Each structure stands twice: as C-alpha cells, then as structure tokens.
C-alpha cells in the first residue's frame, strides 16, 4: 500500500510498485491507510511518506502498523526529513525522495525475499 498525500507523487509511486510486479492499494493519509489495514488481510508492505496532514504523520503510522500488524513490512520516505534509524520501527526501511523506480523495485524485491 502506498500512503502519500500528494496525488501526483501517489500516482507515480503506485505505478512504480505496479511496474515492479506487485498489486497496490493507495491511501492519501494515515487514517485511510489504517482503515484499509483493518479491512484487508492481504497488505504486506506499507510505503508511506513522512510529511502528511491528518491525525498522524508517516512515522506515527509506521509505529502503529508495527504495533498492530507486525508482519507488515515498512518503507518510509521523505524529501524533507532524514529520520534516524531509531525513528523508524524495527525492520523498517528509509527511502529518500526523490527515488527511482529501480530503487522501489529493488527494495520491494528485497522485502519479498
């Protein structure tokens, strides 16, 4: 699942995930992402931006996902914030913006292995 509040970036990220060979859902904020996670059991990766409006940012979303859905893999991204390793839940990965489709595909394949 791609979680990104900026529609063009969300569409680009969704396309990158699809080109890498994966099915993808999209959410525009953490609240929508939580709803999807509660409704579906087939989400294996959450790829979230850090800077988002709403009740929680991407780092809080990543921590919530780790607490409630431990098997779900996490990718956190930002073009403005460089989180420290302790900011990202255990097993999560940081991918700085701008990222390429090759970087996204490579990281997804690594997480799927």
Q: Which domain does 67 fall in, by range? A: 2-112
- Sequence-ordered list of residues with C-beta below 8 angstroms from that of 71, at least 6 positions apart, any chain: 44
Q: Is the pLDDT of residue 113 over 90?
A: no
pLDDT at 42: 97
Please confirm whether the linkage preceding 41 is cis (ω < 30° from 0).
no
Q: What's the per-residue H, E or C state across the chain?
A: CEECCCHHHHHHHHHHHHHCCCCCCEECCHHHHHHHHHHCCCCCEEEEECCCCCCCCHHHHHHHHHHHCCCCEEEEEECCCCCCHHHCCCCCEEEECCCCHHHHHHHHHHHHC
Tell me the pTM.
0.96
Query: For the chain, what is the domain count?
Result: 1
pLDDT at 104: 98
pLDDT at 8: 97
Report the CATH number at residue 104. 3.40.50.2300
pLDDT tens string 29-88:
999 999 999 999 999 999 999 999 999 999 999 999 999 999 999 999 999 999 999 999
pLDDT at 25: 98
């Amino acid at each position: 699942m791609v979680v990104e509040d900026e529609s063009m970036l969300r569409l680009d990220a969704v396309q990158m995930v699809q080109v890498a060979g994966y099915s993808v859902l999209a959410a525009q904020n953490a609240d929508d992402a939580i709803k999807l996670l509660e409704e579906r059991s087939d989400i294996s990766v959450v790829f979230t931006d850090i800077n988002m409006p709403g009740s929680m940012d991407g780092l809080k979303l990543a921590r919530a996902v780790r607490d409630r859905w431990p098997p779900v893999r996490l990718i956190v991204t930002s073009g403005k914030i460089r989180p420290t390793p302790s900011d990202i839940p255990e097993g999560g990965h940081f991918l700085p913006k701008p990222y390429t489709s090759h970087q996204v595909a490579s990281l997804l394949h690594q997480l799927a292995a």
